[in-house]
Each structure stands twice: as C-alpha cells, then as structure tokens.
C-alpha cells in the first residue's frame, strides 16, 4: 500500500506500490527513497505520516501552512533535531530535509523525515488505563527521565515550549521520549530581549509568560509540572481551580498517593512567578534525588506570596490614598464651588444689611439660612464622596493597568496586580476592581464618620449596616489573605 501526500488528491490511498499515484499521478517514492504508508495525524503546522526507507519505518512531516512564520518554525525543528543527541529525542539524518512538488501543482511541499519512536504517548496511555493516576515511584522515574532530556535541550540553548502528555512517548522498554519540536525556540540574546515573540500555547499546560510570547527555561518546567499533575491525578489541569490569590493550581487533594515531598517539587516547578521555579534542569534533578526533604517545599503559594504580599498592601495603601487626597484637592474644590452656586438659600443673617428688623421675616429668613447650611453640608459630602470615588478609581485604574501593573504605593513595597490566570490587567478590568475597592472602603468608613459627626436617622442605620457588612466580609476573606473586591474582580496581589 502507498499513500499520496498531494493535498489535492481525491483518492490518496493506492492499493499497490506503484511509482506514481493512480489518482493524481504524483510521485509515491518521495526523494527517491521514502514510501508513505499512512497518514498518522494533522497538527497545527504539519501533517505526519509513517514512511518506509528501504524497509525501516520512519516518520515524515509535511508542512501544510503557507505562512513564512510556519516555514521558519518547520525548518527550525529539523535544525534542532539534527543538533540534539539523546535516546529520548527523535534522530534525523543530515539529508532528511527535502521539498516535493505534487503533480499539477505550483506549490512546493516542505518535508523532513525523522526516526520513528515506537510506543504510546502518555495521553493515550492514561486513557487506556481509564485515567487511573500513576504511582509516586513511576512518576519520579518518569520525571527524572524527562528532566534529563530537557537538560540536553536547554544546554544547547533551546526551549521546547510545548511539553504536554501527548508529546511524551512511553517506549516498549519503559523509557520515555520527548517529541514534537515544532514549537522549539533558540535562547539567543536577541530572543530574550524581544517583546514580540510568536506565542505557542497548549491549554492547561502553557505558563502565563509564554502565553504573552516570552518563554524562558522555567516555562518548560511549568508545563512539565502541569503534565505530572495530569499523570498523578488522572485529570486535566484545566479541571482544577486556581487559587484566587496566586493563580496556582489547587490539585493536591486529588493526588493522595503522592507524598508531600513530591507534591512540593511539582508545585515548585509550577510556581506562578518564573524566578521562583527551578532555574536549571540540574536544580530539578537535585530536588528529585535529594532524600532528606521530608516536608513540602515552601513555594510562593504557601508562604512568600500568600502572606507578604497581603500585609504589604496596607502601607502601600497609605501612600496611595495620600496621593489620591492631594490629587483630589482641586476636583473637590471645583465640584463644591459648582454645587454651592446652585444653593437657593441665603447664607447671611437677617438684617445684616438693614437697620429695620421684621420679626416674622427674620424668623423665615433664619430658617432659610439653616436650610442653606444643611444643604451646604450635603454638598460637601457629595463633593467629598464623588471626588474620592472618581479620582481614586481613575488613579488605581490607570496605574494598575500600566506596564508596571502597580500603583506608586504598591511599587514602593514591591507588589503588583494580576488577573485570575496570571496575566496583566487591562484598563477596564483595573477600573472595575478600582470602583469595587473604592466603594468597599467607603462603606467601611461611613459609620465612624456618621458617629463622629452625630448623624442620626436612616443614614446612621445605613452606615452601621454597611460597616457590619464590611467587617463580616473581612472576617470571612482575611484568612485567605484576600479582600472581597479581589474575589469579585478575580484579581490578586503578588510580590514582584
């Protein structure tokens, strides 16, 4: 049997082994030596086929995208594979890259052939066993193997960028191999300085910095950690919730067979902040081989981010609200002046400009003066609250959606904001959070102010109810080192 790789061929299957396709007439013996047997799959950039080269089974990849970027990635994959040497990485021959022109086509197909690694990928392996979690012993052995493969890749200044269960093969001898180098990237100085890099993403496995087009060595460790969450739990990473404070995966309760030590290693690899992950593959291997770790490794999830970022918010808030107060002086004055001009009641005592005094008119006038100052008091409150809400919301929204992702106070105490998946906040997200924050703390201070100024009636009871609501919400959320407006806006404050 022979298979035609012409994309336009209506009947690519050929029952015999002719030299030319019986349907379209295209060559079936590619590059004079490869006979295609069957199509194995279709990826984002290329199709994969099984071929035979003089009786030896191999894998053929054929680029089906026309974009220059796709061709660049395709050629890079071949170049990287030709430079890497490890039993867990597919081998390619130096002359295994070629182009093919189908019959009647004006478009050249770019192709290369690599070693066929026999076995089953870990996604299918887990499916075959009913997604039953693997043991700790097996997991540690597998983790060590893949990290050793990554060590070879990283030492050649490459990043894999697409580690996931379907790209790891379990060979018949029990060893693992890493495949699909289509997303690989060289760690050149130019690459590390670029802000616009093609983002390669696999849902549930790709770290936040890579989603934003800035993959680093630690990005591969993050994806590998997520892969072992799948292997240790039998569930996709996307099935688990994210901690609203840190965006880290809450998966540990579904891996009862795994020790705290190993859970700590996986959590360390998946730390939200790349700098808190292992820096090198050798660091991960050292953690795996260290027998003296008897308790869970402290990660940003358990200590650094959880406590320090929370308590740093208070002195940061003092600075920010001092800045808001200064910025609000002029808006407050303008708003109050506008409102004062529409006050219809007189502010001066009766008879101030006249010697004649009419008792009845004096009484009516003084009542109007009282109304003036009552209304003036209301206008002051309206001006103060409006300035607090508007200036405060705009201040926080602009600073926290900036490239620094932090207000001046937060920058001073080295904390910043992220959304629920760890990405930067856009302006609208930051504005929504800022409005909720301003309202939250306004409700908190209403009652103390009302009590201090002897306000009674419905406003007093409203302020008391608002105060109790805020206090109760604080008691509920503070143990998670969070505020209600953080949860409502799905944001978190982290240490830089």
CA distance 221 to 224: 5
Residue 163 pLDDT > 70, yes or no?
yes
The pLDDT of residue 29 is 93
How large is the average pLDDT for residues 406-432?
77
Nearest Cα to 221, choosing from 201, 236, 205, 245?
205
End of a domain among 68, 92, 115?
A: 115
List the catalytic residue out of 121, 162, 243, 267.
Answer: 162
The pLDDT of residue 263 is 93
- CATH number where 60 lies: 3.30.200.20
The pLDDT of residue 192 is 36
- Three-state secondary structure string covering 196-260: CCCCCCCCCCCCHHHHCCCCCHHHHHHHHHHHHHHHHHCCCHHHCCECCCCCCECCHHHCCCCCH
End of a domain among 58, 93, 115?
A: 115
Residue 101, SS3? coil
Identify whether residues 13 and 146 lie together within a single domain: no
Question: Out of 63-77, 128-142, 172-186, which region has the weakest mean confidence (pLDDT)?
Answer: 172-186
Identify whether residues 274 and 356 lie together within a single domain: no
Identify whether residues 107 and 198 lie together within a single domain: no
* 121 token code pair: 């990928």
282-304 per-position pLDDT tens digit: 989 988 887 644 334 444 443 44
- The burial of 384, by beta-carbon neighbours within 10 Å (0-12 exposed, 13-18 middle, 19 or more buried), is given as middle
Identify whether residues 275 and 143 lie together within a single domain: yes
Identify whether residues 186 and 124 lie together within a single domain: yes
pTM given for the model? 0.55
How large is the average pLDDT for residues 153-178?
91
Identify whether residues 99 and 224 lie together within a single domain: no
- Reported as a pLDDT band with limits 50, 70 and 90, residue 310 is low
Q: 55: domain range?
A: 2-115
Asked if 283 is an active-site residue, the reply is: no
Q: In the beta sheet, which residues pair with residue 479?
A: none
End of a domain among 61, 82, 115?
A: 115
Question: Out of 72-86, 92-106, 463-477, which region has the weakest mean confidence (pLDDT)?
Answer: 463-477
Q: What interhelical angle do 359-400 and 310-327 show, nearest 10?
A: 130
How large is the average pLDDT for residues 444-473?
77
How large is the average pLDDT for residues 356-371?
63
Identify whether residues 279 and 372 lie together within a single domain: no
Identify whether residues 335 and 451 lie together within a single domain: yes
Identify whether residues 315 and 171 lie together within a single domain: no
Domain total of the chain:
3
The pLDDT of residue 297 is 40
Question: Out of 85-89, 221-225, 372-376, 486-490, which region has the weakest mean confidence (pLDDT)?
Answer: 372-376
Residue 91 pLDDT > 90, yes or no?
yes
Number of continuous H segments (helices) and E segments (strands) in the chain: 15, 15
The pLDDT of residue 28 is 93
């Amino acid at each position: 049997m022979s298979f035609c790789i012409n994309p336009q061929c209506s009947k690519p299957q050929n029952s015999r082994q002719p030299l030319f396709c019986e349907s379209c007439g295209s060559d079936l013996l590619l590059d004079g030596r490869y006979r295609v047997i069957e199509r194995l799959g279709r990826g984002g950039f290329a199709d994969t086929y099984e071929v035979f080269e003089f009786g030896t089974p191999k894998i053929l990849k054929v680029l089906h995208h026309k974009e220059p970027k796709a061709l660049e990635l395709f050629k890079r994959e071949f170049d990287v594979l030709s430079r890497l040497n490890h039993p867990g990485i597919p081998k390619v021959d130096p002359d295994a890259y070629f182009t093919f022109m189908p019959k009647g086509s004006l478009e050249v197909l770019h192709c290369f052939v690599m070693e066929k690694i026999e076995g089953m990928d870990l996604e299918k392996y887990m499916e075959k066993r009913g997604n039953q979690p693997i043991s700790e012993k097996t997991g540690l052995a597998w983790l060590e193997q893949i990290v050793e493969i990554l060590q070879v890749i990283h030492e050649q200044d490459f990043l894999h960028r697409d580690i996931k269960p379907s790209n790891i093969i379990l060979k018949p001898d029990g060893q693992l191999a890493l495949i699909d180098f289509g997303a690989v990237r060289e760690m050149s100085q130019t690459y590390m300085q670029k802000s616009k890099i093609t983002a390669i993403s696999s849902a549930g496995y790709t770290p936040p910095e890579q989603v934003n087009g800035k993959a680093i060595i630690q990005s591969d460790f993050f994806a590998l950690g997520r892969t072992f969450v799948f292997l240790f739990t039998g569930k996709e990473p996307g099935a688990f919730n994210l901690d609203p404070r840190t965006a880290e995966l809450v998966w540990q309760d579904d891996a009862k067979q795994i020790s705290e030590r190993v859970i700590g290693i996986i959590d360390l690899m998946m730390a939200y902040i790349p700098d808190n992950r292992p820096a090198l593959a050798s660091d991960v291997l050292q953690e795996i081989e260290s027998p003296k770790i008897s308790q869970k490794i402290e990660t940003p999830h358990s200590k650094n981010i959880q406590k320090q970022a929370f308590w740093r918010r208070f002195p940061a808030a003092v600075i920010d609200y001092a800045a808001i107060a200064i910025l609000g002086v002029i808006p407050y004055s303008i708003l109050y002046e506008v409102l004062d001009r529409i006050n219809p009641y007189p502010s001066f005592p009766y008879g101030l400009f006249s010697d004649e005094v009419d008792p009845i008119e004096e009484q009516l006038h003084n009542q109007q003066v009282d109304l003036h100052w009552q209304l003036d008091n209301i206008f002051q409150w309206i001006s103060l609250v409006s300035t607090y809400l508007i200036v405060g919301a705009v201040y926080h929204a602009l600073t926290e959606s900036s490239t620094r992702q932090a207000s001046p106070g937060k920058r001073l105490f080295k904390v910043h904001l992220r959304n629920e998946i760890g990405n930067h906040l856009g302006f609208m997200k930051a504005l929504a959070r800022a409005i909720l924050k301003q309202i939250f703390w306004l409700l908190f201070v209403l009652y103390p102010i009302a009590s201090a100024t002897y306000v009674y009636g419905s406003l007093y009871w409203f302020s008391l109810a608002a105060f109790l609501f805020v206090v109760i919400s604080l008691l509920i959320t503070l143990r998670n080192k969070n505020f209600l407006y953080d949860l409502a806006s799905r944001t978190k404050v982290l240490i830089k």
